Amino acid sequence: MTRIVLAFVVAPILATLVAATSVDFSRGPWGGGFTLDWFAAAWPALAPVIGRSLAVATLVVVLNLCLGGPLAWWVARFPSPATRLTGYLVNVPLAVPGIALSVALIGTYPMLRPSGALLVLGHLVFTLPFTLAALVAALADEELRTNESVARSLGAGNARVLWTITAPTCLIAITQAVTMVFALSFGEFNISFFVNPPATPMAPFALFDAYATQRLEPASAQSLIFIAFVAPVLTAIVLTRRWAPRRTR
Amino acid sequence: MTSPHSPVPSSRGAGLTVHDLTVRYGSTTAAANVSLDVAPAETVAVIGPSGCGKSSTLRAVAGLAPVAEGRITLAGRDITALAAARRNIGLVPQNYAVFPHMSVAGNIGYGLRARRTPEPLRRERVRAMLDLTRLEELADRRPDQLSGGQRQRVALARALAIEPDVLLLDEPLAALDPQLRGGLRRELAAMLSATECATLIVTHDQHEALSLGSRIAILRDGHLVQFDTPQVLWNDPADAFVADFLANALLLDVHRNHDHVLALDGRWRIPLGQLAVRPTGHGVSRLLLRRDSFTVTDTADEAALEAEVTHSEFAGDSVQLTVRAAGTTMSLRVAPDARIGRTVGLSVAGGAATLLSPTA
């Protein structure tokens, strides 16, 4: 497993790093010497794009928690034909090609496109299944429900139970949902490309544009800047798993 | 106590009273017309096989299961429709539900924090509970660093910390290794006796019920079958189910003549002189046979009841036999060196069986 990760994740990133720090990669690794100039040149143009993508990803995370949290609660705690149907419907966008989803959204809600709301909505539709997948299983856990019952019997109200029992117990699931949604939104290309106005591109489109129109070295530098913003999110998953309380049963 | 099977009067104002409780989940009735009471400082055990409604009864008292009919009062308050958080009960579920992200002290103080108890008082109460449950050394440990017995004590301390009007224990020893249960049962009994709290224990283990309960309510198929002291249930069970479930005993209807009784539709004639005779509160003459009540012979004997051996199991100091006679299955115990064939002759060992007679 480690070898597969090294071969298909770490090695391409290292290759990109070599390209991004080479003066002229067409002459081989570090051809013409080592440089960080490509990063310095790429950052001014990329910064507002990264900022825009971060803002959208953060908003999508917040909306996922606000909407996906209660929805996951309903699906987990009140199983019925309606909740099962909801579970199926929420997953439909995963099976629909991004272009089809984008065209459907633009055709249905054109008025939301200029403000960027349609982009956020598109990302929300695309990421909600991942939030539900993480949270429903955690919220349906029998041990958690028993713990909540005991907390209530001890005098805790619903808000206190949610804050002191449910949320800490679901910390891993919440972190998984947040990080997954953030990473998916930040790196999402199809909906961003079709829905978003061209004047305000998102980071994945900027990378596509860089590779299509620029030399390999500055495009690689932009790729690494992009990765640098995703890496902390992935690290958060690992740390949360380490710190999370272990089950006692 | 309101059971028709119990002589103990109902309505104990200061403790817990469950009156004609019915619990339904959709179209399924989990408990029907269950009535019982627990006095302050008393421990009542609710026992029965899986699915008999004992946990549903406990959950209804805790406010965690819907009450379809009936009434629950606690310390003089009608709590039937009250939210769980406002009932002032201490609940210890089967898996103890020790909060995994809190320390031992944090768990014990949880209910006090929820009730906004002032911190000095909270600290003092937590310390008292740590002392009661001998957990002082473990106060800062996390639950995953504790044994099953220690987690049980944490759950008990957490429930007692809020000074509940009633303590509810759901299968308190079921999650522990069988080897540990005896010792922890005695520990639990000692801790419970140190409190003035009414305690309701749900269990399917007759040893737990007999040793922990000052009274026992036995349920079957959602209905209360008998509610009385362990001694009464042991010596005068309401029916064959109670005798079998609580004491592994056999209860046969008998017809009494002047010097003998007839059991199994007259096929077994037992001289009255071989039986201990006790009064019963259940109206009809019955013969109570425990596993040691029999004398087993492998020879044909006119006075003995012929029985077919259906199962034999070596148990170290004895052999457990399951036999069938006149359509009735009986369990009995014989010496390990007894010669057992495919059929045996059963007689009653002198004084080892009891005739429960309304006219004794």
Render pLDDT for B298-335 as a digit per residue (tens, 0 to 9): 666 666 888 889 998 888 888 888 999 888 888 888 88
Chain A residues whose beta carbon lies within 8 Å of the beta carbon of residue B56: none
Q: What per-residue confidence (pLDDT) applies to A136? A: 95
Domain count, chain B: 2
CA-closest candidate to residue A145, choices A163, A166, A164, A131: A166
Whole-number Å distance between alpha carbons of A188 and A124 = 11
Say which range, A72-81, B94-103, B161-170, B268-277, has the weakest mean pLDDT. Answer: B268-277
Percent of chain B beyond pLDDT 90?
Answer: 53
Q: Environment class of residue B221 by beta-carbon count within 10 Å: exposed (0-12), middle (13-18) or buried (19+)?
A: middle
| H or E, element range at A135 | helix A117-140
Q: How confident is the model at residue B294 (pLDDT cuts 50, 70, 90)?
A: confident
Give all domains of chain A, ordered by start, each with its CATH number: 1-35 (no CATH), 45-243 (1.10.3720.10)
Residues B227 and B271 reside in one and the same domain? no
CATH code of the domain containing B195:
3.40.50.300
Q: What per-residue confidence (pLDDT) applies to A247? A: 54
The residue from B209, B240, B271 where one domain ends is B240
With an 8 Å Cβ cutoff, are A164 and B162 in contact?
Answer: no
With an 8 Å Cβ cutoff, are B83 and A143 in contact?
Answer: no
CA-closest candidate to residue A181, choices A123, A237, A228: A123
With an 8 Å Cβ cutoff, are A154 and B63 in contact?
Answer: no
Mean pLDDT, chain B, integer? 88
* Chain B residue with minimum CA distance to A167: B101
Q: Per-residue pLDDT for B12 more than 50?
A: no
Residues B148 and B111 reside in one and the same domain? yes
Instruction: Give the pTM.
Output: 0.80
Counted across chains A and B, CB pairs separated by less than 8 A come out at 84
Q: Read off φ and ψ for residue B116, nearest 5 degrees.
A: 55, 40
Q: Are A53 and A92 in contact (CB under 8 A)?
A: no
Whole-number Å distance between alpha carbons of B14 and B67 = 21
With an 8 Å Cβ cutoff, are B62 and A149 in contact?
Answer: yes
Residues B290 and B214 reside in one and the same domain? no
Residues B220 and B273 reside in one and the same domain? no
| Nearest CB partner across the interface for B114, out of A146, A160, A248 | A160
Residues B20 and B142 reside in one and the same domain? yes
**Which residue ranges in chain A fall short of pLDDT 70?**
237, 241, 244-249
The more confidently predicted of residues B293 and B226 is B226
Q: How confident is the model at residue B360 (pLDDT cuts 50, 70, 90)?
A: low
Chain A residues whose beta carbon lies within 8 Å of the beta carbon of residue B85: 152-157
Q: Of A78, A146, A241, A248, which to mutate for an interface test with B (greatest number of B Cβ within 10 Å)? A: A248
Q: What per-residue confidence (pLDDT) applies to A59? A: 96
The residue from B219, B240, B261 where one domain ends is B240
Distance from CA of A162 to the nearest CA of B (A): 12
What is the token pair recorded at A107?
């055709």
The more confidently predicted of residues B28 and B326 is B28
Residues B68 and B127 reside in one and the same domain? yes
B137 in a domain, yes or no? yes
Residues B256 and B131 reside in one and the same domain? no
Chain A residues whose beta carbon lies within 8 Å of the beta carbon of residue B100: 169, 245-248
With an 8 Å Cβ cutoff, are B100 and A246 in contact?
Answer: yes
Chain B residues whose beta carbon lies within 8 Å of the beta carbon of residue A165: 99
Q: What per-residue confidence (pLDDT) applies to B182? A: 78
With an 8 Å Cβ cutoff, are A248 and B111 in contact?
Answer: no
| Nearest CB partner across the interface for A152, out of B84, B158, B168 | B84
E strand segments, chain A: none
The residue from B240, B259, B286 where one domain ends is B240
* Chain A residue with minimum CA distance to B143: A248
With an 8 Å Cβ cutoff, are A156 and B114 in contact?
Answer: yes
| Nearest CB partner across the interface for A149, out of B64, B101, B110 | B64
Q: What per-residue confidence (pLDDT) applies to B110? A: 97
Q: Per-residue pLDDT for B6 more than 50?
A: no
Residues of A with CB under 8 A from a CB of B: 143, 146-147, 149-157, 160, 164-165, 168-169, 171, 245-249
Residue B122 lies in domain: 16-240
Q: How many Å is the Cα radius of gyration of chain B?
A: 24
Chain A residues whose beta carbon lies within 8 Å of the beta carbon of residue B170: none
Q: How confident is the model at residue B191 (pLDDT cuts 50, 70, 90)?
A: confident
Say which range, A39-43, B71-75, B173-177, B335-339, has the weakest mean pLDDT. Answer: B173-177
Q: Per-residue pLDDT for B2 more than 80?
A: no
Q: Are B16 and B73 in contact (CB under 8 A)?
A: yes
Q: Read off φ and ψ for residue A245, nearest 5 degrees.
A: -65, 145
Residues 6+ apart with CB under 8 A from A38: A20, A21, A217, A218, A220, A221
